[in-house]
Amino acid sequence: MEMTLRFLGATQEVTGSCHLLTIDGKQVLLDCGLIQGGRAVELRNHEPFAFQVSTIDAVVLSHAHIDHSGRLPLLAKLGFDGPIYTNKATAELCTVMLKDAAMLQQRDNERLNKKRKKQQLEPISALFDQQDVDKAISQFVPLDYQVENPIVPHVSVRLFDAGHILGSAIVSLQLGEGSQQKAIVFSGDLGRAGMPILRDPTLIDNADLVLMESTYGNRLHRSWDETIAELKQIFAKAITESRGNILLPAFSVGRAQELLYLFHLYAKEWDLSRWKICLDSPMAIEATRVYINNYPLMDEDFKRFTRMHPGEHPLLSNVEFTQSTDESMLLNEVHQGLIIIAGSGMCNGGRIRCHFEHNLWRPECDVIICGYQAEGTPGRALVDGQPELTIRGKSVKVAAKLHTIGGLSAHADQAELLRWYRHFNHQPPLILVHGETTAQQGLVDAIQQDKSSAPQALAIAAHGDKLDLNGLPQLVWC
């Protein structure tokens, strides 16, 4: 029986997750994400898929982040009409996130075509629109965690909580029959043990092959206690010394809700009563409501807190939702005492750009970077120390104090990745995806240092690589 796996995205880079499973003539995609980064990088999304869309029988989606889900509307636009299997909460979040992605596609495409017209170049079409999003959403098949579901002949899927964002899943696939049966585990994006709101990533016992993300494969995050102490110090200095505003570019799903929860838990300790806290992101506001409606997926600490404080929801209690554009613009008339949580998380769009225009050049303001910043994004430029950003065609000096809080990351670090992998029995073959090359090589070096727990085989996937799954436990490339 033919069983192959092709690696078509998030290979030696972090975004654009996409892998193609073929078994006995049936084809299943694992994720179908947008490539994110600078303008030149994102134009790769307009290139044709490396497969015939008409041959895809089903999609399994690990979670709602756009670098994993963002090209599903394009897939539907090009004729895919099969099922998209994912956790129920992921399906709800995708309704929010893909709608926003369609709006951004249309807006960015209009701006791009204005430039192309000046350069006497042919206009290009937006990747997809709201109609394509609606079609894709109609194809979602919501699944519960830990329930095995057949998806095509000879393939069944079971999802486990990945602890990364609400609804995020580790994907376990059972392939084939009898002696040819194989168990393939795809980590998706792995969260971290002990983080607020969500449960810890599920540990899996058995697999014949593991595909594991490696976003932070070469680094260790600060401990949770150190992270909380660092945030407390930032707020204390902002109150006593800076006396400006604090800007937090945040991913609308996951990071924004985590920040709201922290601001509730530590309101007194961080003296937050002196501040007006605004969630300035329509998408984050909608996503927060999805979080609230999926209470059963939260960790025990979150549930215990809500039981002990009836009527006081920890994601709603001390924050103002800034829904309209006019409300957002009014915030720029306030010069001190504001904490603004706004998208986008990598500073390459959304309302945070407008707030940067009014605050980034002010030395009395603070910017807290609290998530991964892909190469080529304005957020990465800030982290790398770039002295200016171009916003709406203008150069804005970076004078605000910049703080990079790695301990808030929703991705497992090197030690946590190793711990998750080493729980598998018999150290199955391991292929690294979803990481920049330096991070992946750092993880490989760490894996190889401990010979007793080294995988039976180890590789870093390259774009287009094709693996013969019948060859396991050896990695036999086609």
Pick the CATH number of 224-408 from 3.40.1190.20, 3.40.309.10, 3.40.5.90, 3.40.50.10890: 3.40.50.10890
pLDDT at 177 over 90: no
Q: Where in the chain is the domain with CATH 3.60.15.10?
A: 3-218+415-477
pLDDT at 347 over 80: yes
Find the mean pLDDT for residues 363-389: 92
* Lowest mean pLDDT segment, chosen from 17-26, 31-40, 81-90, 201-210: 31-40
CB-side exposure of 419: number of CA atoms within 13 Å? 14
Q: What is the pLDDT of residue 229?
A: 93
Find the mean pLDDT for residues 239-250: 89
Residue 97: strand, helix, or coil: helix
68, 94 contact by CB (below 8 A): no
Q: What is the pLDDT of residue 148?
A: 96
Find the mean pLDDT for residues 300-319: 80
- Give the pLDDT confidence of 387-416 residue by residue, as tens digits: 999 998 899 999 999 999 988 889 999 999
Find the mean pLDDT for residues 102-117: 86
Helix (H) or strand (E) holding 112: helix 88-118
Homologous superfamily in CATH for domain 3-218+415-477:
Ribonuclease Z/Hydroxyacylglutathione hydrolase-like (3.60.15.10)
328 falls in which pLDDT band (50, 70, 90)? Answer: very high
Q: Where in the chain is the domain with CATH 3.40.50.10890?
A: 224-408
474 falls in which pLDDT band (50, 70, 90)? Answer: very high
pLDDT at 245 over 80: yes
Residues in CB range of 80: below 8 A, 6 or more apart: 53, 54, 56, 59, 139
- Give the pLDDT confidence of 152-167 residue by residue, as tens digits: 999 999 999 999 999 9
Q: What is the pLDDT of residue 364?
A: 94
List, in sequence order, every residue forming a beta bridge with 321; answer none if it has no partner. Answer: 279
pLDDT at 317 over 80: no
Cα–Cα distance for residue pair 407/223, rounded to 1 Å: 6
Residue 143: strand, helix, or coil: strand
Sign of the C-alpha dihedral computed for residues 150, 151, 154 and 160 taken in this order: negative
243 falls in which pLDDT band (50, 70, 90)? Answer: confident
Residue type, 388: E
